[in-house]
A and B are shown apart, each in its own frame.
Chain A
Amino acid sequence: MFALLDISISVINLIVPAFIRTDRLNALVLLVVFSAIVIYFIRRATRGDKLYIRPLAGLQAVEEAVGRATEMGKPVLFIPGTGDIDEIQTIAGLSILGLVSHVTARYDTPLRVPVLYPMPMAAAQEVVRESYIDEGKADRVTPEMVQYIAGESFSYSARVGGMMRREKPAANIFMGSFRAESLLIAEVGQSTGAIQISGTAEPEQLPFFIAACDYTLIGEELYAASAYLSKEPKMMGSLKGQDLFKVLLLAVLVLGVLAVTFNIYPDFVTELFTAN
């Protein structure tokens, strides 16, 4: 019996490392637990369970800002971040653009989307076009709506600043990944008197946005925005799952800190959380 077990363990030891990076097993376990929790909550949400999501002032202000632009007959300026398409924040920005462009299409509010890189530009064009088709306004889509500006952030901010000064949008929405150009853009927008809503997961840029914008989504709130705005049960479920996982992670973090502080298997605990 034990010999059989020994052989099985040897076979596993031989085969598993050949296919799986055992040094990343800790991350794999985390991924599996995280996915399981998120999928569980998605299923609960699709079954019709009521899930409470804390209201986010910044997101409630999005519709209000578009409404204000409509009333004033001025454009809404939307920037889906200044990162490339391989950044998940850009995808989050494009998701929010999808929801905003539905509203601008519905109320015939002019929309301007200046983009820094060509790939997000192509994606943003598609997002806006689909939204306008959905609202039966395909003929209102123009090349000026989504524009490629420059592949360099300071040339980009100069151009966007000029756009803000000339066209005086009533609402500026900045959602995605931003670098040093965040304040250059937001401060010009502030000087034109536009209502400004921003969201980014870049910790360095948050203070600038908070100083120059009316509302700011901080870190993970950006990723929650599309779920929050669409009110789609599946997306709400994933948010709930993410929250529970965060609580679990915090608990593990506290236990880990205590273990290392009080010298309870410190090497094992450190090894357990080492990223490779």
Chain B
Amino acid sequence: MKTRIPVAVAFLSGFLMIVAFFGSGEWLSMLTNEALRYMTIVAGFSLLLGVVSITQVSWGVVRKRGEDWPYKIILLIALAAMTGFGVLQGITGGTVFEWLFDKIQKPMMATMFSVLAFYIASAAYRAFRARTVEASILLVTAIIVMIGRVPMGQYIYEDLPSVANWIMMFPNVAVQRGIIIGAALGAASMSLRIILGIERTYMGRG
């Protein structure tokens, strides 16, 4: 029973979406819009689950004075402040919520994104070793593209940008398409397994 109901729900929802994609008619679009609306409602409520989880875990650490407990207090204060100001004042222009978002959250997000530049450099240095023929091809290609795509590339060798563009436009696009087509088929096959109830491992049942 515990698996049968979710499997039935998955089958009906999947079937409805397939019918909606291929079928036409007012009632059908009404039905799918309704289904999508239900999904939005469920997603909204699930946010509460997230808040409960983060509060439960953080409060547990604070109570037991676990590792890094002072940071959990900051987390709980930030959670309460953002929720409080958001509910009381709204989240549009000129509110405290927006000020906190613009002045604290945004710079922190941008900082984390900028860390990527450092990590890309260290990962490239470590990973690009000409250990095999394939790795050597990858290495040479990477160097051509890296230098050919920046202004300095033209100074090193006049035609380098054209070679880099060719690599990006043809071999790169061909590989991307191959991966995308394969992945799309894999996704379709997985969807079919879910709709037919063959794939149940995502519910914890093998």
Residue of chain A at shortest CB distance from B128: A211
Interface hit among A65-73, A227-235, A260-268: A227-235
The answer to whether A241 touches B183 (Cβ under 8 A) is: no
The answer to whether A122 touches B46 (Cβ under 8 A) is: yes
* B18 contacts partner chain A, Cβ-Cβ < 8 Å: yes
* A140 contacts partner chain B, Cβ-Cβ < 8 Å: no
* B157 contacts partner chain A, Cβ-Cβ < 8 Å: no
The answer to whether B187 touches A21 (Cβ under 8 A) is: no
The answer to whether B116 touches A89 (Cβ under 8 A) is: no
The answer to whether B50 touches A19 (Cβ under 8 A) is: no
Interface residues of B in 101-142 (CB under 8 A from A): 105, 108-109, 112-113, 115-116, 119-120, 122-124, 126-127
Say what secondary structure dominates the interface of chain A. Answer: helix
- List, in ascending order, chain A residues with CB within 8 A of B96's CB: none
Known: A219-B186, A220-B185, A238-B189. A158 touches B49 (CB 8 A): no
Known: A88-B187, A91-B202, A118-B50. A208 touches B18 (CB 8 A): no
* B81 contacts partner chain A, Cβ-Cβ < 8 Å: no
Complex alpha-carbon distance, A38 and B32, angstroms: 27
Among the listed B43, B113, B191, which residue makes an inter-chain contact with A154, where contact means beta carbons less than 8 Å apart? B113
Give a binary string over B18-57; 1 marks a CB under 8 Å from any A CB, 0 the rest. Answer: 1001111100000000000001001100111111011011
The answer to whether A220 touches B198 (Cβ under 8 A) is: no
* A61 contacts partner chain B, Cβ-Cβ < 8 Å: no
Q: How many A-B residue pairs have CB under 8 A?
A: 203
The answer to whether A18 touches B24 (Cβ under 8 A) is: yes
Interface hit among B146-154, B160-168, B173-181: B173-181
Say what secondary structure dominates the interface of chain B. Answer: helix
Known: A88-B187, A149-B54, A155-B108. A203 touches B198 (CB 8 A): no
The answer to whether B190 touches A88 (Cβ under 8 A) is: yes
Chain A, interface residues (CB within 8 Å), range: 35 or more
Complex alpha-carbon distance, A92 and B122, angstroms: 30
Closest Cβ of chain B to A148, distance in Å, is 4
- List, in ascending order, chain A residues with CB within 8 A of B113's CB: 154, 180
- List, in ascending order, chain A residues with CB within 8 A of B43's CB: 84, 118-119
- List, in ascending order, chain B residues with CB within 8 A of A226's CB: 199, 201-202
Complex alpha-carbon distance, A123 and B43, angstroms: 12
The answer to whether B49 touches A152 (Cβ under 8 A) is: no
- List, in ascending order, chain A residues with CB within 8 A of B188's CB: 34, 242
- List, in ascending order, chain A residues with CB within 8 A of B198's CB: 42, 232, 234-235, 238
* A249 contacts partner chain B, Cβ-Cβ < 8 Å: yes
- List, in ascending order, chain A residues with CB within 8 A of B199's CB: 91, 95, 226-227, 235
* B203 contacts partner chain A, Cβ-Cβ < 8 Å: yes
- List, in ascending order, chain A residues with CB within 8 A of B202's CB: 91, 94-95, 98, 123, 127, 226
Residue of chain A at shortest CB distance from B112: A154
* B205 contacts partner chain A, Cβ-Cβ < 8 Å: yes
The answer to whether A187 touches B185 (Cβ under 8 A) is: no
Closest Cβ of chain A to B191, distance in Å, is 6
Q: For A89, A126, A130, A148, which residue has the most chain B Cβ atoms within 10 angstroms?
A: A148
Closest Cβ of chain A to B72, distance in Å, is 11
Known: A130-B205, A184-B115, A223-B190. A211 touches B185 (CB 8 A): no
A residues neighboring B (CB under 8 Å): 17-21, 24, 27-28, 31, 34-35, 38-39, 42, 84, 86, 88-89, 91-92, 94-96, 98-99, 101-102, 117-119, 121-123, 126-131, 134, 143-144, 146-149, 151-152, 154-155, 157-158, 166, 180, 183-184, 187, 190, 201, 203, 206, 208, 210-212, 218-224, 226-227, 230, 232, 234-235, 238-239, 241-242, 245-246, 249
Can you list 9 A-B contacts (CB < 8 A)?
A17-B24, A18-B24, A84-B43, A101-B204, A130-B203, A148-B49, A222-B186, A223-B190, A238-B189
Beyond the given A148-B50, A226-B199, A227-B193, could you list 10 further A-B residue pairs with CB under 8 A, ordered by the A residue number? A20-B23, A31-B18, A86-B39, A94-B202, A98-B202, A121-B53, A127-B203, A131-B204, A144-B60, A222-B186
Leading 4 A-B pairs by shortest Cβ distance: A130-B204, A220-B186, A118-B50, A223-B186
